């Protein structure tokens, strides 16, 4: 995990509520990412940011929003528009956004919709 923290570890949400997942890194990395992991599937990219104040949609951005106001922080909001939000959410960072730049992951947040 080293250097990347995610909170909370477990999160429960009622249908219709927005929730925000926190991701902080102290590795001085420019790039940050949000992934969703479901059982039996590979990681799917939600959003990524190559630099402060800039971010791009990944493969499954619908129902999610992000901000990148500080280099260290990349919070993810799961909105009520996300139809199936129950999943394990992983935040990652890398020194840059090149294919060769290793991504370092946080410990994850498990979101459950009640």
Partner 1 sequence: KNQVEQSPQSLIILEGKNCTLQCNYTVSPFSNLRWYKQDTGRGPVSLTIMTFSENTKSNGRYTATLDADTKQSSLHITASQLSDSASYICVVDQLIWGAGTKLIIKP
Binding footprint of partner 1 on the chain (CB under 8 A): 1, 4, 40-45, 88, 90, 92, 94, 99-108, 110
Closest contact distance (angstroms) between CB of 7 and partner 1 is: 13
Choice between 13 and 110, CB closer to partner 1: 110
Choice between 51 and 96, CB closer to partner 1: 96
Choice between 25 and 82, CB closer to partner 1: 25
CA torsion angle 87 62 7 35 (round to 10): 70
Strand partners, 59: none
DSSP labels, 71-85: TTB--EEE-TT-S--
- First-to-last alpha carbon distance for the chain, in angstroms, is 28
Closest contact distance (angstroms) between CB of 5 and partner 1 is: 11
């Amino acid at each position: 995990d080293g250097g990347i923290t995610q909170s909370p570890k477990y999160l429960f949400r009622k249908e219709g509520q927005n929730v925000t997942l926190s991701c902080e890194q102290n590795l001085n990395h420019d790039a940050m990412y949000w992934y969703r992991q479901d059982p039996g599937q590979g990681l799917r990219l939600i959003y990524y940011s190559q630099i402060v104040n800039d971010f791009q949609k990944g493969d499954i951005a619908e129902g999610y929003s992000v901000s990148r106001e500080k280099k260290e922080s990349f919070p993810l909001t799961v909105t009520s528009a996300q139809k199936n939000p129950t999943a394990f959410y992983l935040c990652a960072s890398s020194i840059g956004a090149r294919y060769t730049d290793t991504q370092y992951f946080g410990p994850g947040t498990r979101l459950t919709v009640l």
